[in-house]
Structure 1
């Protein structure tokens, strides 16, 4: 093949890549806000049939839509990610995610798009993640976060121009096993714990905390964001073997809020509740720091509960 033919062939391949029109993106974005950033198995099948594309082609086409959820007042760099997760029932679902930044706070408090998508899958029924499509190459922080997954050894990463496995992007990785941890994020081996004297506490908050992934500190914790008109949003604590990429329960809950298209404002948010494990508390100060980046102060409740023996 001559150089000119090769260029022509590459152009044809580029043109053949499926993408939504701007109007279709806006329509899907509006729909996703009502579904809190999740496309169900039936949604995926319907879209694949409608546009005559494969599941992978659809996954990649959804990434620009995920970027529309981004809240990036500092970087103005809008990143989207879509994870293909499989539930315990075998349903294949798309879990959307986008980066979230907090003005006037340490940059380490941001939520990365990959974290957001994985958090969305973790909180909403996925038992494993097999693929993740991202608008931009994952940073080292995100590669380390993905390395905590129970599918880290087989995870496929799809970028706009190239595809990789996580192991190609993170060889010789440090992970849970290096710290003697036998479970992984989304692992069926992770068992929920039980608290005592929680009858008068929001039971979904209790359940989210008891299902936290906290093999390194045992601080089973969760956050509830109560809104006036948009329902409640919950987030759990997801730790990481490298410690820094851990996702706090408030970051987790805020990501869920934004994936519903709800802004964190005084007009929307009524109160925040933080539940932590008695004797293992470590989330109060970071929660206060993130909340301080907003221009209003919602009602705040800090709850500590003991684990049953």
Structure 2
């Protein structure tokens, strides 16, 4: 049996692999779990969108959801043509956002095709209540604490909230939907689930391409700079279809955020105008009470 149909299913599932699919693939390949994860990385790596560096990276997060089910979430790096390098998305960011978008509440293991840079180590740290997360880099085994000694994190800023908190829930919305009201409700739900303990400026974005809709949740970081922009998060979801990003196919981009001392409005509109000038850009700024009332 050829694994190609399973790889196509993973694309349709936007980089999500169920525990059963992973087990079936392991049996098909005659591999143990680590070798299967490494094999998947080699298959996912070409999905990366890297026109600037031409350096493709893949990541795979082994996670557990709120129902106690284990699954795997893939990620690749994404670079945007004619935009600043600060708009680049790292594979680890894509994979962690993908896992979180699909109801992850616990990280079990992280597999990467290249050594995580310092930026990514700091980003990973925001997801971990402790720094004992196991990370496999090819044949090298390490923990986050080994890769990021003397880590700076939420506790240093007096924040006890964590991204993978128990109250979080699943609203990934992979299905096609044409109901405008339902789509807006979905966007507001992602807004509520976004993570902004330092600024209070929660944000989420919906990117529409025909009947397909992609969501990006804002993720803040204690070090601020590795924070994940909602538009970049949405682009990373598009990349997980394994077909690159057709910017001309983007119909609309809707950004919703809470009023705070920071805003994604100008940066989002500038990137949309640069990459997809035909797309309709919509913006909504709400206060926290209005956002809570929307659900």
Inter-partner Cα distance in structure 2 for 1:219 and 1:65: 37
Inter-partner Cα distance in structure 1 for 2:238 and 2:261: 26
Match of 1:246 in 2: 227
Match of 2:151 in 1: 173
Matched, 1:59 2:40: no
Q: Which runs of 5+ in 1 are unaligned?
A: 1-22, 193-198
Inter-partner Cα distance in structure 1 for 2:279 and 2:88: 20
- Secondary structure of the 1:103 match is coil
Question: 1:211: Cα distance to partner?
Answer: 0.3
CA pair 201-133 structure 1, distance change in 2 beyond 3 A: closer
Question: 1:92: Cα distance to partner?
Answer: 1.2
Question: 1:162: Cα distance to partner?
Answer: 0.7
Question: 1:37: Cα distance to partner?
Answer: 0.6
CA pair 191-204 structure 1, distance change in 2 beyond 3 A: closer
TM-score, length-scaled by structure 1: 0.84
> When the two structures are aligned, how many residues end up with a matched partner?
279
CA pair 289-258 structure 1, distance change in 2 beyond 3 A: same
CA pair 279-165 structure 1, distance change in 2 beyond 3 A: closer
Runs of 4+ in 1 over 6 A off after TM superposition: 189-192
Comparing 258-267 with 183-192, greater Cα deviation is found at 183-192
Matched, 1:216 2:198: yes
Matched, 1:285 2:263: no
TM-score, length-scaled by structure 2: 0.88
Structure index of larger Rg: 1
Comparing 181-190 with 266-275, greater Cα deviation is found at 181-190
Q: How does 1:45-124 map to 2 (within 5 A)?
A: 45-124=23-102
- Secondary structure of the 1:245 match is coil
- Secondary structure of the 2:135 match is strand
Are 1:183 and 1:189, in contact at CA under 8 Å, matched by a contact in 2? no
Inter-partner Cα distance in structure 1 for 2:116 and 2:72: 18
Inter-partner Cα distance in structure 1 for 2:191 and 2:68: 25
CA pair 179-191 structure 1, distance change in 2 beyond 3 A: farther
Match of 2:106 in 1: 128
Inter-partner Cα distance in structure 1 for 2:228 and 2:131: 21
Match of 2:177 in 1: none
CA pair 290-234 structure 1, distance change in 2 beyond 3 A: same
Inter-partner Cα distance in structure 2 for 1:281 and 1:152: 28
Inter-partner Cα distance in structure 1 for 2:165 and 2:196: 12
Match of 1:203 in 2: 185
Inter-partner Cα distance in structure 1 for 2:166 and 2:89: 25
Q: Which runs of 5+ in 2 are unaligned?
A: 171-180
Match of 1:158 in 2: 136
Inter-partner Cα distance in structure 2 for 1:171 and 1:54: 30
